[in-house]
Amino acid sequence: MGTLHEEFVAAPLGKIQVLRGGTGAPLVYLHSAGGEAAGVEALEQLAERFEVIAPIFPGFGESEGIEQIDGMDDAVFHLLDLWALLGLDAPNLLGCSLGGWMAVELATRYPERVERMVLVNPVGLYLAAAPIAEMFGRSPGELAEMLFVDQTHPLAAAMHAMDEFSGDVGKQIDIPIELVLPMWKALGATARIGWDPYLHDPKLRGRLRRVTAPTLVVAGAQDGLVPLAHAQTYAAEISDARVAVVEDAAHWLIFEQPGELVALTEAFLAEPR
């Protein structure tokens, strides 16, 4: 598998952490509200065929500048600044959940800056008949049940273990803190963009006609956060888009089914345009 190396770039908002590795056509990964990138198996596999570039959004990881982000307009302009700093013209995008929403917002405003998109369980839309489940205020264990089918997955198990932690510092619980702790920091950053209105842009659906990039929407069949109707709506209203549903996967499909996501992504990006 490829290895992603950490670097930092000086962006207008401040220092931005970037994970980068591999060779080939650039593939930019836009992470979910969990802020994942380092050590993600799917990205390391993709780095065998692509130059994978995973910028960490302000407020996540070690990236600065979240206090200057007030909504999706700010997020999109930040991405454009990164494109310039990283020498990108119109890269392929792989966006997970919150990152998928950002990818679409960029593609509606500046369609010429996106080659192709793979959206994994993207948020961003409001569907009255299929609302996104509430994630803020949930216990770690409740979130695990929404994000994973397999509750024995190491990250899901760690989230359940956090529920068991009662504040007794002498209690021994095996929690991979390098995975879990950044997630809680990331929820605060997510709230800057997705608190009100909740995880959507009221104008986005009406702008999907502007997307020109061929798009694959990948949905976990058992997603407990975002109903399948959201993936279907994106695919129906983006002119060149389709849905792939992955079984035995919930919202964090990138962790539960990395091999399937890599295979779908590689096959889609290899298709003639």
Q: In sequence order, which ranges of the chain are alpha helices (DSSP H)?
A: 41-46, 72-85, 98-109, 140-147, 154-164, 177-194, 204-207, 228-237, 253-256, 258-270
29 φ/ψ angles, rounded to the nearest 5 degrees: -100, 125
Q: How far is CA 251 from CA 104, 180, 230, 242, in A?
A: 18, 16, 12, 18
Domain that holds residue 157: 5-270
**What pLDDT is attached to residue 184?**
63
**What pLDDT is attached to residue 90?**
98
- In this structure, is the dihedral angle defined by the CA atoms of residues 30, 31, 36 and 39, taken in order, positive or negative? negative
Q: How far is CA 211 from CA 67, 108, 110, 189, in A?
A: 29, 5, 9, 27
Q: Residue 125: helix, strand or coil by DSSP?
A: coil
**What pLDDT is attached to residue 10?**
98
Q: How far is CA 44 from CA 38, 256, 267, 270, in A?
A: 9, 15, 17, 18
**What pLDDT is attached to residue 99?**
97
**CA 266 to mean position of chain CA atoms:** 17
- Give the number of other Cβ atoms within 10 Å of residue 166's Cβ: 7
Q: How far is CA 235 from CA 100, 129, 231, in A?
A: 13, 17, 6
**What pLDDT is attached to residue 174?**
57
Number of structural domains the chain divides into: 1
Q: Is residue 8 within a helix (H) or strand (E), and if so which, with residue range?
A: strand 5-11
Find the helix packing angle between 154-164 and 177-194, rounded to 10°: 90
**What pLDDT is attached to residue 271?**
95
Q: Is residue 28 within a helix (H) or strand (E), and if so which, with residue range?
A: strand 26-30
- Reading across the β-sheet that carries 215-220, which strands appear in turn? 5-11, 14-21, 51-55, 26-30, 92-96, 117-120, 215-220, 241-246
**What pLDDT is attached to residue 181?**
56
Question: Can you list the residues of the chain whose pLDDT is less than 50?
Answer: 166, 169, 178
**What pLDDT is attached to residue 165?**
62
First-to-final CA distance of the chain: 27
Q: Which CATH number belongs to the domain containing residue 200 in this structure?
A: 3.40.50.1820
Q: How far apart are CA 194 and CA 107, in angstroms?
A: 19
**What pLDDT is attached to residue 172?**
52
Q: How far is CA 147 from CA 249, 253, 255, in A?
A: 9, 8, 10
Q: Which letter does DSSP use for residue 200 in this model?
A: B
**What pLDDT is attached to residue 64?**
96
Q: How far apart are CA 81 and CA 77, in angstroms?
A: 6
Token code pair at residue 169: 């510092």
